[in-house]
Amino acid sequence: MTITITPSARERMHHFLAHTPNAAGVRFGVKRTGCSGFAYVVDLASDLAEGDQSLDVDGVRLIVDAKSLPLVDGTVIDFQRQGLNAAFVFHNPNATGECGCGESFTVG
């Protein structure tokens, strides 16, 4: 299992974790939604659930649920600012397509 976090994404995650010291880590995964099938989920995790995988990625504890593991393996998580917008951006080698708005993706 490999997930990479860019320095800007790591800084943003550390910012959120510093303001929520009781968080178990950052939950990263996918949920079924959107016009292409899956959307990414990045949120603070309050605890570990059964089947969760905990990964230390450059000093950030990432928590990934078992169903998301094969869909996010190899993903690079970035954080980008463009004008007034700021968001996490995902480069996922498992994605075979994305919807036009970039909010959801498909896998082969």
CATH number, domain of 37, equals 2.60.300.12
Residue 101 scores a pLDDT above 70: no
For 64-75, what is the mean pLDDT? 93
Taking phi over 0 as left and psi of -120 to 50 as alpha, with beta for the rest, 89 belongs to: beta
Distance CA 43, CA 25 (A): 9
Q: Tell me the pLDDT tens digit for each residue of 20-42.
A: 989 999 999 999 876 668 888 99
Residues 6+ apart with CB under 8 A from 77: 3, 4, 5, 6, 9, 28, 42, 88, 89, 90
Distance CA 75, CA 90 (A): 7
Distance CA 69, CA 37 (A): 16
pLDDT value of position 103: 61
Q: How many structural domains is the chain composed of? A: 1
For 1-29, what is the mean pLDDT? 94
Instruction: Note down the domain range covering 29.
Output: 4-107
pTM for the full predicted model:
0.87
Helical (H) or strand (E) element with 25: strand 25-33
pLDDT value of position 100: 58
Q: How far is CA 10 from CA 2, 14, 16, 64, in A?
A: 15, 6, 10, 16
